[in-house]
Structure 1
């Protein structure tokens, strides 16, 4: 087994949408050779006007401290996409390299959806590693291109020594009840076809790899049953 492979997966709830009881979350992967890989960074310290429904909790920096880590200890940040509830603290990790889909990074440059959070995600080019489509980042850590929610959204597959493969769909499929092959009812969403295609892609992956644990990032009912940091999956 490669020392580069993931050994631990920490789950961190860093905020909520109180009205809907929706968790806002991020994740930390630790590898056998000592790398710390953060997946998303949660909400910004100051939530923008369009995020009035969101509420900060124990932020990612505070939660990392509970397991003995400072922001400078983070080697990589896998940025699934630049929505402010997923990329709100990117700027805090000044020693890290950011891993993002090229399609997403290029789209964000002119997309008003991501403008308010630009100071967080628009890092110096030498610290951004652009990837194209499905990518094995390290042995046992795979990025899965799942456009639809936004162009170039990416999900993450983590292979752990005891738990086995864990799929993090992120916002490709935020709730368990949406993880279905059924075509959603028409709702005039111009991205509905891409969202459905990405859902099918992930369902096929789960069946092919016999993945036992799929963690839906905004599913409050599921998150009440999961092990949260400082506990971990291994």
Structure 2
């Protein structure tokens, strides 16, 4: 089992990383987690309120996969943590994959919620196949999907069990920064959709799972942690 951390761009101010992840199982199954901002953002930067998005050609999900010898057709599963713009911009490039998403989140996005409208042509492409799940699910041996609603309803995080590194918990936007890891004191941002008790419960769940599994937590957009980690084409195993 290998885990690659994919650098898919930077948001300013603050050098905030936009990550994706590639998990390769021992039997050669490729699992992509999220797909970043749309490829078009390289030449036409996306600038949501308060942010400036910087994406170099080598930061696209296609380029990051190519540097480890993969094409979109090699991806067996694409795990959607959620459908915010910086996580779902290239879903339509992975027509061979099975998309795995929490039912609650998919239903909310499909209902026409404006938060997920910008990338709808990418994530709601008719050629894509979705598997809707409810709650915590083992996707394949060594990869567990954890329901962590809070940032958005139906958000999910990923626990990866690596033979040498040990367990790694990809918190995604359930806990975006190490400073938010304490459920009692974490800041609630305007981008967090659920009510405060739900947000704090998911934050506590990340903490509890990390403690129980002795897992290293990779936070979703941590400008301090990200440079300390091993980025693709290097990997953890």
The verdict on how the C-alpha distance between 1:67 and 1:126 changes in structure 2, with shifts beyond 3 A counting, is closer
Q: 1:149–1:191: 8 Å Cα contact kept in structure 2?
A: no
Q: 1:40–1:86: 8 Å Cα contact kept in structure 2?
A: yes
TM-score of the superposed pair, with normalisation by structure 1:
0.91
Matched, 1:54 2:53: yes
The verdict on how the C-alpha distance between 1:125 and 1:91 changes in structure 2, with shifts beyond 3 A counting, is closer
Matched, 1:208 2:207: no
1:56 Cα shift?
1.5
1:42 equivalent in structure 2: 36
Q: Alignment length, in residue pairs?
A: 227
Q: 2:92–2:128: 8 Å Cα contact kept in structure 1?
A: no
Please give the alpha-carbon distance, in whole angstroms, between the structure 1 residues aligned to 2:187 and 2:10.
Answer: 27
Please give the alpha-carbon distance, in whole angstroms, between the structure 2 residues aligned to 1:187 and 1:67.
Answer: 35
Please give the alpha-carbon distance, in whole angstroms, between the structure 2 residues aligned to 1:160 and 1:65.
Answer: 23
Please give the alpha-carbon distance, in whole angstroms, between the structure 2 residues aligned to 1:126 and 1:224.
Answer: 34
2:234 equivalent in structure 1: 231
1:96-150 deviations in whole A, cap 9, x for unaligned? 1100000000000121100110011114487111100111111110000001111
TM-score of the superposed pair, with normalisation by structure 2:
0.90
1:187 Cα shift?
7.3
Please give the alpha-carbon distance, in whole angstroms, between the structure 2 residues aligned to 1:55 and 1:191.
Answer: 31
1:49 Cα shift?
5.4
Matched, 1:75 2:76: yes
Please give the alpha-carbon distance, in whole angstroms, between the structure 2 residues aligned to 1:44 and 1:146.
Answer: 25
Structure 1 unaligned blocks of 5 or more: 1-6
Structure 2 unaligned blocks of 5 or more: none
1:169 equivalent in structure 2: 171
Please give the alpha-carbon distance, in whole angstroms, between the structure 2 residues aligned to 1:63 and 1:99.
Answer: 21
The verdict on how the C-alpha distance between 1:186 and 1:41 changes in structure 2, with shifts beyond 3 A counting, is closer
1:99 equivalent in structure 2: 100
1:38-96 deviations in whole A, cap 9, x for unaligned? 00001112345536522223111001101111111111100100001001111111111
RMSD: 1.8
1:206 Cα shift?
1.3
1:192 equivalent in structure 2: 196
2:119 equivalent in structure 1: 117
1:194 Cα shift?
1.3
1:218 Cα shift?
0.6
Equivalent residue of 1:50, what SS?
A: coil
The verdict on how the C-alpha distance between 1:136 and 1:187 changes in structure 2, with shifts beyond 3 A counting, is closer
Q: 2:95–2:128: 8 Å Cα contact kept in structure 1?
A: no
1:186 Cα shift?
7.3
1:156 equivalent in structure 2: 158
Equivalent residue of 1:169, what SS?
A: strand
